[in-house]
């Protein structure tokens, strides 16, 4: 069974087969909410028999970005079937030049609190640079596509535009599937009611990002796990 290997050569996409008798889950936009992520993994009873598709933006906003990335790397190193893809926040961090304020905070607003990913010479620590650099832009299975920002369906072939898979902001949700497959994304923060409706109607593509970091907003503040076979939505309120 092919798995994501952050020590292998970079590939812009992965094609993954379904494991027999596996539960398949999708989670997106953890944004440094480590305790919430950990609790959600416990809630879905995630095990080595399951497959987990992570749709990007593991860092920033929340206070425990390093812990989130370390947890993902730990799962991979322990041979869990985890498939993380690239989000715009990972791309920003990987490409940023680390300029620090006198108090040690990074100047770039998208990479503040991320000093933990750098050494004393302001070089990104090798294990993190390796991880961020090898993240694919999308993952395909027999019945799903996963991309952080989805696809730009105005293109003749959306699968060729990798940059748009992490940055595209248009809410172009479709009732019909794309290439006979569902497209599950994050990036666009949606209300819990809207996401529940998309899941219930089995929309062709939609976001499952409920803005976990926005804990004070009554319509947001949850980290969600979508069961890709039963279309059950598991909800974990932010506890960070």
Q: Which of 186, 180, 229, 190 is nearest to 19 (CA)?
A: 229
pLDDT at 4: 85
Cα separation of 126 and 10, whole Å? 15
Return the minimum-mean-pLDDT range out of 16-30, 113-127, 195-209.
Answer: 113-127
- How many C-beta atoms lie closer than 10 Å to residue 133's C-beta? 13
* pLDDT of 103 higher than 80: no
Into which CATH architecture does domain 22-237 fall? 4-Layer Sandwich (3.60)
- The residue among 120, 130, 23, 22 whose CA lies nearest residue 73 is 130
Q: Where are the domains of the chain?
A: 22-237
55-93 pLDDT per residue, tens: 999 998 888 999 999 999 999 999 999 999 999 999 988
Q: What are 162-207's pLDDT values in tens digits?
A: 999 999 988 779 999 999 999 999 999 999 999 999 999 999 999 9
Per-residue burial over 93-115, b if 16 or more Cβ lie within 10 Å, else e, is: bbeeebeeeeeeebebeebebbe
Under a CB-based contact definition with an 8 Å cutoff, are residues 80 and 86 in contact? no
Across the chain, what does the average pLDDT equal?
Answer: 91
The rounded distance, in Å, linking the Cα atoms of 46 and 61 is 25
Tokens representing residue 57 in the block: 């933006």
pLDDT at 108: 54
d(CA 216, CA 192): 14
Q: Is pLDDT at 128 greater than 70 in this prediction?
A: yes
How would residue 132 be classed by pLDDT, with cut points 50, 70 and 90? Answer: very high
């Amino acid at each position: 069974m092919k798995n994501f290997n952050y020590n292998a050569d970079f590939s812009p996409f992965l094609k993954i087969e379904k494991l027999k008798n596996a539960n398949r889950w999708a989670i997106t936009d953890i944004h440094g909410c480590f305790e919430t992520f950990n609790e959600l993994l416990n809630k879905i009873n995630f095990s080595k028999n399951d497959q987990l598709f992570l749709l990007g933006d593991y860092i920033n906003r929340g206070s425990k970005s390093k812990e989130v990335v370390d947890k993902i790397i730990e799962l991979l190193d322990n041979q869990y079937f985890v498939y993380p893809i690239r989000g715009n926040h990972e791309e920003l961090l990987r490409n940023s030049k680390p300029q620090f304020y006198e108090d040690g905070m990074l100047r770039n607003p998208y990479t503040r609190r991320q000093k933990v990913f750098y050494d004393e010479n302001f070089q990104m620590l090798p294990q993190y640079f390796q991880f961020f650099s090898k993240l694919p832009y999308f993952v395909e299975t027999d019945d799903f596509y996963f991309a952080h920002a989805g696809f730009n369906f105005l293109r003749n072939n959306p699968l060729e535009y990798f940059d748009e898979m992490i940055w595209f902001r248009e809410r172009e949700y479709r009732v019909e599937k794309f290439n006979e497959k569902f497209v599950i994304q994050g990036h666009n923060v949606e209300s819990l009611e809207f996401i529940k409706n998309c899941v219930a109607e089995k929309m062709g593509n939609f976001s499952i990002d409920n803005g976990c970091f926005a804990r004070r907003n009554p319509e947001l503040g949850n980290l969600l796990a979508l069961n890709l076979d039963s279309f059950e939505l598991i909800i974990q309120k932010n506890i960070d």
